[in-house]
Amino acid sequence: MQDGNAEFARYPSLPGRAVLVTGGATGIGESLVAHFARQGARVAFFDIQDEAAHSLVESLNAEGCPAPLYLHCDLTDIAALQRAAGEAIAALGTVDVLVNNAANDQRHTIEEVTPEYWDQSMAINLRPQFFMIQAVLPAMRKAGRGSIINMSSISWMIPSTGVPLYIAAKAAIVGLTRTLAHELGPEGIRVNAVLPGAIVTEKQKRLWYTPEYKAEIMASQALKRDILPGDVARLVLFLAADDSSAITNQSYVIDGGWV
């Protein structure tokens, strides 16, 4: 599998596997969808960014990859999430892999947080991860296997400032991962977390990735290069594939050696 001038692993277990990705239209999610499709997996993804999602589907179709299924879904609406999950499972026939990727790292101060803002932040960054897992469990249990990958962040380990609710949610995801790994392990279902560092997405470049911030990142990272969405996606591919079949209950940091 090629990415620019580099060559990366192809996983024999991934072609034909049914993969569901939340927040798959842009950023890390876009790279996840593309990487799974290029491995020959059958991918369904959720988002609310229709234009970006349709563009991604068209570009992968043009490459000759299995066309991903895009489903518009506001993950803060649990009833809509459950309906979309049911539609994806019906279309794919099952779900072998779930990547809980969707999140919103909107900056906020302690003073501006209201009870309503708290609920909104958790409804985006934490609650959908649990309910997506709940929604795919019947299919995974029927198959007697599954790989669930929850996207956390190093932000709670550094720790970052200026995003206290996002950080609280990302720390909670690690706890959720660990308990569900033990609950679901006897049924052949693996649960792991991935903790990215400062990943250079288009959103980050547009909103926050200033020369000053990049200098701060490079001073903190052991590797003095940008960490890209594809770097994260290739770690997720490994955790989805049978090559990692003995791995569960783990949290994998991918940050260029920041923490």
Position 206 scores a pLDDT of 84
Position 5 scores a pLDDT of 58
| Ramachandran sector of residue 146 (left: φ over 0; alpha: ψ -120 to 50; beta: rest) | left
Asked if 213 is an active-site residue, the reply is: no
Position 207 scores a pLDDT of 76
Cis peptide before 68 (omega within 30 of 0): no
Position 221 scores a pLDDT of 97
3-class SS letters over 138-163: HHHHHHCCEEEEEECCHHHCCCCCCC
Q: Which pair of tokens denotes residue 79? A: 């009833």
**CA 71 to chain CA centroid, nearest Å:** 16
Contact 14, 237 (CB under 8 A): yes
Contact 148, 134 (CB under 8 A): no
In the chain (259 residues long), the average pLDDT of successive 10-residue segments reads 74 98 97 98 98 98 96 98 98 98 94 97 98 98 98 95 96 98 98 97 82 93 96 98 98 96
Contact 3, 233 (CB under 8 A): no
Query: Of 166, 209, 213, 252, which is the active-site residue?
Result: 166
Q: Where are the domains of the chain?
A: 15-199+229-254
The whole-angstrom separation of Cα 32 and Cα 182 is: 26
Q: Is 3.40.50.720 the CATH classification of the domain at 15-199+229-254?
A: yes
Contact 20, 85 (CB under 8 A): yes
